[in-house]
Amino acid sequence: MNKKNQNKKEKINTDSKNISNLEIAGLISRLYAFMIDLGLIFIIIYTFGPISGNKLFHEDAATQDILVLFGYFVIPTIIWGRTPGKWVAGIIVVMKDGTPAGPASIPREMVGKFVSYISFGVGILWIILDKENQGWHDKIAGTYVVRCDQKSRLPFFLNFLKSKKK
């Protein structure tokens, strides 16, 4: 096994009891999840854009756009620890102790993502350089993105569908 593949299998090495048993998600799986999320956002835009007079992600609809992005990225991450894209990619956002990221950490992560993006993406690219694959937003929020087993993916999907029925 070459060194690059060995690093992908590396476990988080922290003082915590639970996080050391989890595999850190790499840049590729995180990018894959983000691309799926972007695709779903484009579906939302093209589905609801005509209904809103094609004002989604337009200069006249900043509040509406923020609500769409908040609803897509923040709410699922608070409730399930991941977005639909992260679910498909088999990754989840957790705290250092291995528990899902909660409501207190997600706003910090969003602020961290803003900082990462306005710095010309350096905070996102930091994932490549960091030994625990954390971007600036992860470091600010105290979160890790880890792989989850297949068993935990099905209950997430079923819970996601149940919440839509309510």
- pLDDT, one tens digit per residue, over 116-150 is 889 988 998 999 999 999 999 999 999 999 998 76
CA gap 139, 23 in Å, rounded: 17
Beta-strand pair 143-147/91-95: antiparallel
Does the residue 166 lie in any domain?
Answer: no
Q: Which residue has the tokens 């029925």?
A: 165
* pLDDT at position 52: 65
Mean pLDDT confidence for 34-44 = 91
The answer to whether 16 and 97 are in contact (CB under 8 A) is yes
Please indicate, yes or no, if residue 132 is contained in any of the structural domains.
yes
Is pLDDT above 50 for 8?
no
| Phi, psi values for residue 102, rounded to 5° | -105, -175
In-domain check, residue 143 = yes
Per residue in 44-85, pLDDT (tens digit) is 877 877 766 666 666 776 777 778 888 898 889 888 889 999
Look at the chain and report how many structural domains it folds into: 1
The predicted-structure confidence for 106-116, as pLDDT tens digits, reads as follows 888 888 888 98
pTM comes to 0.73
State the residue range of the domain holding 85: 18-159
- Residue 112 maps to a domain: yes
